[in-house]
Amino acid sequence: MATKVLPNDVEKGSGPVAEEHEGKPPAINAVSTSLESERSLVWKQDKRIVPLAAATYFLCFVDRSNIGNAKVLNSTTGNDMQTETGSSDYQFNIALMVFLISYFLFEVPSNILLKKFRPSRWLAFLMFSWGAITIGLGGVQNYPAMVGVRFLLGAFEAGLFPGLVYLLTFWYRPEERSVRVAFILASATLGGAFGGAIAYGVGHMNRTRNLSAWRWLFILEGIPSCLSAVFVWFILPDYPERASWLSEAEKGLAAQRVREGSQGSAPALTWADAKATLTDWRLYGHYVIYFAASLPFSSLSLFSPSIVAGLGYQDLEAQLMTVPPWAVAYVVQILMAWSADHFNSRGYHAAAAAIVGAVGFLTSAALPADAFHGRYGCLIIATAGSFSCVPPLLGWLTSNLFSTASIGLAVAINISIGGGLGQIPGVWIYKADERSRGYPTGHGVNCAMLFVVAVGALSLRYFYGRRNRALLKAAPEGTTPRLYRL
């Protein structure tokens, strides 16, 4: 007798089923189609969505983190941003922090508006806005203006990353998301690499047309975001059922494939949806882990040029030497995310990456301050581990949510807590007066946070494994309950 599949979860009583609790989940075969046609559809989606989404986040990350380059660009001649705006180290950190405060405040509202106005329209609006604000940052003359413009930049950049993660749930199955998230997030590591290279080149424009190089840096890096918003408006797809570039058969297959994801036709968030998501206490385990992962993410994004400058490199050479750590992190990030999806093992992969990053920070803090080559190698290891643990965590969260409303809200809360609140401490841990000692506080805090990520990921993996065993035991004979991804 054939095994019957329960349409409802034994615990929650709603939502789709999952086929296995260990190993790689098998493909969904609810529609009559060949594996080749499904692969062709996924590839078609990938070509439309992933490169444009990754390029968009690349520009966002460059515009967000270039202030770290501007802080030290041409500092030996007194033409750096900090000097020309008359900001102390403390004031400069305040300017970094206000970005994160507005980032935290506007994450959730932005994801709600994304569903209301369509992803392509809302993300294009955000992109043009932050590009214009970045250009405006090149014109600030003093500390108050810098703080105000950074607050606006955070408000408009806040919705991009959670919006892109949310968008993927309309198009991809749970076991396909981590690697796509990785391609998008890895563009941040490319942004870090290219940001240093771009700053190196722009640094030679110092005093061109009587403008310091850091002003040119903001102007030249804001223009592409404004122009690219046009491509996002017209090219970024919204939902499978509205995709004119898909045939009717492909639209049906695309919608069927993501029956465990978000639906473009689903209604907007209701108070009942919000309450159900806010009181789903297991999600807070994800939020805490992502909070811890965000400290090294933010501190490396903002202070890599300063960290490298403390390794014996100066000015333009310091900008150039920020490139290798980001380049290595890009490759490791992609491989780690693919493996996590392939083996349905996101918890173990996130924990392993976090431990590698923690060891890199710990070793760097333990080495003598003048061990420049060894500490530079540790920076590469720490950066690779810190960034590689994030895509499996985001893929894990979306894989264990089962409605359009809950995914949109939970992703926004997760990134709001992590990308906003979680990044605020990262602004303060790399203290300027510790440069000669190798930034022990910054490395020590990042090491501790990555160990929190590792312990949290392993604990959550144990929780989901235990919950799956309970669901299997409680299921009536001959039925398969919906199980959590691991």
81: in domain: yes
14: in domain: no
> Which has the closest alpha carbon to 259: 177, 175, 173?
173
CA distance 27 to 322: 41
Tell whether the model's pLDDT for residue 25 goes beyond 80. no
260: in domain: no
265: in domain: no
63: in domain: yes
Tens digits of per-residue pLDDT, 116-130?
888 999 999 999 999
The whole domain housing 321 covers 45-240+278-479
Average pLDDT over residues 283-294: 94
> Which has the closest alpha carbon to 2: 484, 479, 482?
479
Q: Who wins on pLDDT, 111 or 17?
A: 111
248: in domain: no
Tens digits of per-residue pLDDT, 169-203?
889 888 888 889 888 988 887 887 788 888 889 99
pLDDT band at 16 (very low <50, low <70, confident <90, very high): very low
Distance (Å) of CA 3 to CA 187, 300, 475, 476: 44, 51, 12, 11
Residue 4: DSSP 8-state: E
Instruction: Name the token pair of 43.
Output: 């590839």
Tell whether the model's pLDDT for residue 377 goes beyond 90. yes
- Which range, 133-137, 205-209, 470-474, is most confident? 133-137
460: in domain: yes
Tell me what the pLDDT averaged over the chain comes to.
85
CATH number, domain of 157, equals 1.20.1250.20
290: in domain: yes
**How many CB atoms neighbour CB 185 within 10 A?**
26
CA distance 320 to 274: 46
Among the ranges given (29-33, 146-150, 435-439, 481-485), the one the predictor scored with the smallest mean pLDDT:
29-33
Q: Tell me the DSSP string of 51-94.
A: HHHHHHHHHHHHHHHHHHHHHHTTGGGT-SHHHHTT--HHHHHH
Instruction: Specify the number of domains making up the chain.
Output: 1
Tell whether the model's pLDDT for residue 317 goes beyond 90. no
pLDDT band at 404 (very low <50, low <70, confident <90, very high): low
Q: Which conformational region is residue 74 in: left (phi greater than 0), alpha (psi within -120 to 50 degrees), or beta?
A: left
Q: Is 480 helix (H, G, I), strand (E, B) or coil?
A: strand
Tell whether the model's pLDDT for residue 437 goes beyond 60. yes
Query: Across the chain, how many H-helices and E-strands are there?
Result: 19, 2
